[in-house]
Structure 1
């Protein structure tokens, strides 16, 4: 049985709390490793090391910090397959999906190479008689992040890459369900030239989270996970005087207009609804066809596509559409919600409840499910299921469809499929959701734009990556400067003017 570690001050360090969590192979259901769960003393010791290392790193010029990111990109590409294999083994997602996870994180690292440009301040010459005014963007100090299981490479890099290139130290508390890749990333960025102590990986559970929240040295915290925990971390962190950004749950709607290309829409829904076993905060979990005819035709096209989906372990190669969910508890929760949907009157068109994979009966595999005639009062509509379950809510008109998405408590992502430019433009302008796709099913912005939802999907004023990251991980200092002139008329130096 492998025993994992923390990564502190450039070295793998065994846990001392005596507490461990099981790390499963989701495909087999077997425990493949144990990860230590840090206590407050362990966490505080890591912060102390980071605080000692940060001033020298913060004083390093941005161009040199950016060069570390350049080298880190090279190493990520070099070890892509190695990282993806470790990710798939612990998370369960297919190998191509795992590589996509790493790639989207890598793209944020690439964006961070532009730090010298992003960290430039502003200058006003002669703001007053002999007075100049300028601003500086300076690092916060020690920063922290709490990341989820579903993207164990991408989201840590979304946080620590901009934090570090801005001159901060960073304490990463990854998910205890799949901690190996974050540990590998810490090794790689130090190989790229990052000084020891600037990136620390401390594994743990709520005790480590609370240690981060109440440690006075930690200046900012980023979080991605469920909305109840996001609310807790945001409220507690802000009360402790920290800068906090928290990203919570989602229930992403895709509206299908009568004029849409339904083959394109059906393909998009299958990929967006069932890819990664639905364990994505940007997954489409609600299809909203407008009109009964549109709904009937869409269901007709969806059913054969969903029934052909291949579910299996990542070791089966690229032929698999999605793998297992992350834990037995996750599987149990998904199937419980599916049964609730049936009990509340939704029509289960594709029933994956009896799915079993020969040779992997103990794995956490969940068959694909498709519901039709779901209504907004049902639990499967209100709740983020985080599994391979797509709900169809029929709308009588565009306005009704728009209202469904706007009235839901979550506002992470949404999409519309239509051939009509006026409808698409109206949708993009009116919808109260942070990320919008037009004939694009999962509208995740690229690294040079920002990622973030609205409503109960986000807590905080600034989004992830893009320009917002450089604002979040720095504070602005404004300097007003006046140098009294010592030169008098005639060119002679006036010493009295300097008194």
Structure 2
């Protein structure tokens, strides 16, 4: 996961036409002269004069400017969330669930609007953007069941005349810091559960694609969410630090690169906050000799180049076990030649990268791989897309004979670059994965159930796919990795998400009848039950 707070030519590709099978008409994205903050169910320009440019990655043109909060703006937005926290936290579960369900219905009915906004600012293809919204909807649907998820336990007569029950209560104000690669889905991993549990939220979108959350805020208002419960704080590092430092913010959820995740975790916990900070990834896909190689090739291309590789669960390393590498590479290369790269609004398979700077960064890793001696099988540098000469293009790229000491292997590239590492045995493959500092996602392709069972036990990674290349869990399970891919103890959504956004209480009560149960007098010994 990458986000910032602060020379072999590829063939010319033709701009993809709108394909009827995609089922889309060209949708007009939301355009704003100014992308503002959102506070108390209204847009708020703030007092800071600082602004950032919002760019369409397919054209290279600036489409809007986004407010960058200063300290005063951040205090204003956080204060609104703090004012609303007590009343929202004491609202009935029925009220919260009904608003959540109305939000779900509105989002489902208008999800193509949101997909168009994502494509216009991030660049991913419309189908991919719609898939992002749909996966986020799964968490909203999970949060619609919050009355059940927040049920406590009750034990009658644990001792004579004494009952015990448990409850979970909201934290208050929570901050959510979101990356550019999933401007709608990643925030939805957190805010439906936080709001359903009775918290108020302040969401800080990426400054690269900030409009999706402003559109979402309008939808929450339409669903009937009270003022101050859902707030958007636009900006850069100053906005992030305000959330990390504010005494009114009880918890912070973050998704981004590992260095920034560590920074967020250390600064927020130093200020006494509860933190879940999901960091970077270097996801491997292991191919056993008995695997169906056509299935493998499809999976590698889909998981390696979808969303231009800007996914925290993208496959960036293909580990071939035994003599299958040449066959796998040939099949992958054949499929790569058929990929349509272009403007994501026009029905292509893969769009541009999010910014020119990020495109150049990814290209620099390709340069480094060539210099280190890896075999460049397919080169996506210097790609040209007709009619979009100023877009941030870098085509699908494939390396072979990559070794673990090369930067193309060691670094999280976050782009459409797939590296093939050849190993001799299953144990070599598992050792390679376990030696990597990241532990986000991994996949194994095999027809051998015994190997699959051993793999589940052996591999030190948080999310595992067996013949599934992108093992993103359903909303009622939790998302998160191990090692340098996670700082904090809680994963996103699922039961862990509910526990993260609530505090537990246990109440021991006694309601004795004085007429039948008079005081037993003084007893200083430690109490026991009878």
TM-score range, shorter chain: over 0.9
Please show how residues 242-261 of structure 1 align to structure 2 within 5 Å. Answer: 242-261=273-292
Q: Report whether the alignment pairs 1:361 with 2:389.
A: yes
**Alignment partner, residue 359 of structure 2:** 331
**Alignment partner, residue 405 of structure 2:** 377
Q: Once the 2 structures are TM-superposed, how far is the Cα of residue 495 of structure 1 from its aligned partner?
A: 12
**Alignment partner, residue 194 of structure 1:** 225
**Alignment partner, residue 345 of structure 2:** 315
**Contact 1:144–1:171 at 8 Å: present in 2 too?**
yes
Q: Report whether the alignment pairs 1:75 with 2:103.
A: no
Moved over 4 A (4+): 494-497
Q: Once the 2 structures are TM-superposed, how far is the Cα of residue 105 of structure 1 from its aligned partner?
A: 0.7
Q: Secondary structure at the residue paired with 1:394?
A: strand
Of 325-334 and 72-81, the range deviating more from structure 2 = 72-81
**Contact 1:63–1:115 at 8 Å: present in 2 too?**
no
Distance 1:394 1:496, change over 3 A: closer
1:130 aligned to which of 134, 153, 161? 161
**Contact 1:69–1:165 at 8 Å: present in 2 too?**
yes
Deviation digits for residues 447-470 of structure 1 (CA, Å, limit 9, x no counterpart): 110000000000111110111111
Q: Report whether the alignment pairs 1:64 with 2:95.
A: yes
**Contact 2:116–2:345 at 8 Å: present in 1 too?**
no
Deviation digits for residues 220-254 of structure 1 (CA, Å, limit 9, x no counterpart): 00000000000000011111100000001100000
Please show how residues 74-113 of structure 1 align to structure 2 within 5 Å. Answer: 74-113=105-144
Deviation digits for residues 461-497 of structure 1 (CA, Å, limit 9, x no counterpart): 11101111110000011111111213339xxxx8999
**Alignment partner, residue 169 of structure 1:** 200
Q: Secondary structure at the residue paired with 2:206?
A: coil
**Contact 2:53–2:62 at 8 Å: present in 1 too?**
yes
Q: Structure 2: how far apart are the matches of 1:434 and 1:200? A: 31
Q: Structure 2: how far apart are the matches of 1:212 and 1:80? A: 29
Deviation digits for residues 340-372 of structure 1 (CA, Å, limit 9, x no counterpart): 000000000011112111111110011111000
Q: Report whether the alignment pairs 1:486 with 2:521.
A: no
Q: Once the 2 structures are TM-superposed, how far is the Cα of residue 403 of structure 1 from its aligned partner?
A: 0.8
**Alignment partner, residue 443 of structure 1:** 471
Distance 1:331 1:130, change over 3 A: same
Please show how residues 427-466 of structure 1 align to structure 2 within 5 Å. Answer: 427-466=455-494
Q: Structure 1: how far apart are the matches of 2:262 and 2:520? A: 60
Q: Report whether the alignment pairs 1:12 with 2:40.
A: no
Higher RCO (C-alpha under 8 Å, 6+ residues apart): 2
Deviation digits for residues 185-210 of structure 1 (CA, Å, limit 9, x no counterpart): 11111211110110100101111111
Deviation digits for residues 133-156 of structure 1 (CA, Å, limit 9, x no counterpart): 111100001111100000000011
Please show how residues 212-251 of structure 1 align to structure 2 within 5 Å. Answer: 212-251=243-282
TM score, norm. by length of structure 1: 0.96
1:474 aligned to which of 495, 502, 506? 502
Q: Structure 1: how far apart are the matches of 2:427 and 2:337? A: 32
Q: Structure 1: how far apart are the matches of 2:172 and 2:157? A: 32
**Contact 2:47–2:72 at 8 Å: present in 1 too?**
no
Q: Structure 2: how far apart are the matches of 1:4 and 1:145? A: 18
Q: Structure 1: how far apart are the matches of 2:498 and 2:463? A: 20
TM score, norm. by length of structure 2: 0.91
Please show how residues 148-163 of structure 1 align to structure 2 within 5 Å. Answer: 148-163=179-194
**Alignment partner, residue 58 of structure 2:** 27
Q: Secondary structure at the residue paired with 1:400?
A: helix
Provide the alpha-carbon RMSD of the alignment.
1.4
Q: Report whether the alignment pairs 1:390 with 2:418.
A: yes
Q: Secondary structure at the residue paired with 2:235?
A: coil
**Contact 1:65–1:165 at 8 Å: present in 2 too?**
yes
Q: Once the 2 structures are TM-superposed, how far is the Cα of residue 429 of structure 1 from its aligned partner?
A: 1.1
Q: Structure 1: how far apart are the matches of 2:252 and 2:246? A: 11
**Alignment partner, residue 440 of structure 2:** 412
Deviation digits for residues 373-408 of structure 1 (CA, Å, limit 9, x no counterpart): 000000000001111100000011111011111110
Q: Structure 2: how far apart are the matches of 1:316 and 1:135? A: 53
Please show how residues 290-309 of structure 1 align to structure 2 within 5 Å. Answer: 290-291=321-322, 293-309=323-339
**Contact 1:26–1:327 at 8 Å: present in 2 too?**
yes
Q: Structure 2: how far apart are the matches of 1:182 and 1:372? A: 40
Deviation digits for residues 294-324 of structure 1 (CA, Å, limit 9, x no counterpart): 001101111111122110002212xx11100
Deviation digits for residues 26-53 of structure 1 (CA, Å, limit 9, x no counterpart): 0011111000000111111111111111
Q: Structure 2: how far apart are the matches of 1:44 and 1:322? A: 40
Q: Structure 1: how far apart are the matches of 2:76 and 2:379? A: 51
**Contact 1:311–1:367 at 8 Å: present in 2 too?**
yes
Q: Structure 1: how far apart are the matches of 2:73 and 2:365? A: 38
Q: Structure 2: how far apart are the matches of 1:368 and 1:396? A: 27
